Amino acid sequence: MKVKKAIFPVGGLGTRFLPATKSMPKEMLPIVDKPLIQYAVEEAADAGIEQFIFVTSRGKSAIENHFDHSFELENNLLAKGKRDTLASTQEMLKIPGSYAYVRQQEPAGLGHAIWCARHLIQNEPFAVILADDLIFGQSTTKEMIKNYNSGNMVAIMEVDKQKVSSYGIVQIDNNDNDIVKINQMIEKPSIDNAPSNLAIVGRYILDNKVFDILESQERGSSQEIQLTDAISSQIGEIPCFGYKIKDERFDCGSKLGFLQANVSYALNRNDLNSDLTNWLKTII
Ligand code: G1P
């Protein structure tokens, strides 16, 4: 069955970026000149996704506005003949009905956010994309869908052993392939309890049965309803796979990762590379 829908949980408070995120969604923070959420939506569209479901919360209306017309701005740019700039403000528009928004009324965890979108998914697998996890090349979701047959699939990568307690960590049998079978997963384990240093990155292709599990999922790590716990409880009933990401991933939920992403993406741009490189040489 084709994967045609993606859920973007964007209800989080973004406390790690205060005061910048006091009145602006953290997903609107730009990497060079494009907000994080647009990178996520573009990655989904490149993967063949046709319906983009945002799980929002209070104070996130800037995201809805970003994926809509801005008539005043568009008329102004048109009148001035700035066609390229105008095109850049319209490239995120899709056919009406492609974007849907549901509210998560309380920040109760990633699992709870996904569950809030349950009425918008029918009897079909779906993707989940966390915009904070920016993956270079924007082809991870496409590769995962290409390799997906059934069950659940999560993107994974090796992390420093000292950092396992910041991630969902998986246990696998055989590390030889790009796609591996997962036997166990634990959300944010201590270093001593971590079954490996293979962490879940924010890309998932999920069987819709996960909604039934999430319906009665107990609160787990950080007293939140965890998606990892719901996927983990299905292991043994339906297959669970890990897809090892191939490109560099930036944790844009952290200040350092966000700055690294901005420098890396800017260095990759023809209009910025040379001036930025020269300036970096002078300050390092
Ligand atoms: C979430 C997931 C975690 C995953 C991480 C990837 O955690 O719960 O399993 O490893 O995203 O970024 P969060 O970063 O939202 O605490």
pLDDT tens track for 214-254: 999 999 999 999 999 999 999 999 999 999 999 999 999 99
Shortest-distance Cα residue to atom 15 of ligand 1: 110
Give distance in angstroms: CA of 200 to centre of ligand 1: 7
Give distance in angstroms: CA of 202 to centre of ligand 1: 7
Q: Are strands 168-172 and 249-251 parallel, antiparallel or unpaired?
A: unpaired
Give distance in angstroms: CA of 51 to centre of ligand 1: 23
Helix (H) or strand (E) segment spanning residue 275? helix 273-283
Task: Supply the pLDDT for residue 3.
Answer: 97
Q: Which residues line ligand 1 (CB under 6 A)?
A: 110, 130, 133, 167-168, 187, 199-202, 226-228, 253
- Confidence at 141, pLDDT banded by 50, 70, 90: very high
What would the mean pLDDT of 29-39 be, rounded to a whole number? 97
Task: Supply the pLDDT for residue 205.
Answer: 98
- Whether 176 shows a pLDDT value over 90: the answer reads no
Q: What is the DSSP letter of 192?
A: T
Q: Which of 7, 166, 206 to mutate to test the pocket of ligand 1 (most atoms within 8 A of CB)?
A: 166
- 193-211: burial string, b at 16+ Cβ within 10 Å, e else: ebebbbbbbbbbbbbebbb
Give distance in angstroms: CA of 168 to centre of ligand 1: 6
Task: Supply the pLDDT for residue 219.
Answer: 92
Shortest-distance Cα residue to atom 7 of ligand 1: 167
Judge whether 56 and 103 are in contact, CB under 8 Å.
yes
Shortest-distance Cα residue to atom 10 of ligand 1: 167
User: In Å, how far are 12, 104, 120, 221, 278 from 109, measured between CA atoms?
Assistant: 9, 10, 19, 9, 43
Q: Which of 16, 134, 197, 200 to mutate to test the pocket of ligand 1 (most atoms within 8 A of CB)?
A: 200
Q: How many whole angstroms separate alpha carbon 4 and alpha carbon 44? A: 9
* Collapsed DSSP state (helix, strand, coil) of residue 100: strand
What would the mean pLDDT of 171-199 be, rounded to a whole number? 93
Please state the pTM of the whole predicted model.
Answer: 0.96
pLDDT tens track for 51-99: 999 999 999 999 999 999 999 999 999 999 999 999 999 999 999 899 9
Sequence-distant (6+) residues with CB within 8 A of 27 are 8, 10, 14, 35, 36, 37, 40, 60, 63, 131, 132
Residue extents of the structural domains in the chain: 5-274
Q: Which ligand 1 atom is nearest residue 202's CA?
A: 6
Give distance in angstroms: CA of 80 to centre of ligand 1: 44
What would the mean pLDDT of 38-47 be, rounded to a whole number? 97
Task: Supply the pLDDT for residue 146.
Answer: 97
Q: Locate tokens 């996904």: which residue?
A: 114
What would the mean pLDDT of 26-37 be, rounded to a whole number? 97
| CATH level 2 (architecture), domain 5-274 | Alpha-Beta Complex (3.90)
Task: Supply the pLDDT for residue 249.
Answer: 98
Judge whether 182 and 203 are in contact, CB under 8 Å.
no
Give distance in angstroms: CA of 118 to centre of ligand 1: 20
What would the mean pLDDT of 244-269 be, rounded to a whole number? 97
Q: Are strands 168-172 and 34-35 parallel, antiparallel or unpaired?
A: unpaired
- Whether 46 shows a pLDDT value over 80: the answer reads yes
Judge whether 247 and 135 are in contact, CB under 8 Å.
yes
Residue 107: Cβ within 10 Å count: 13
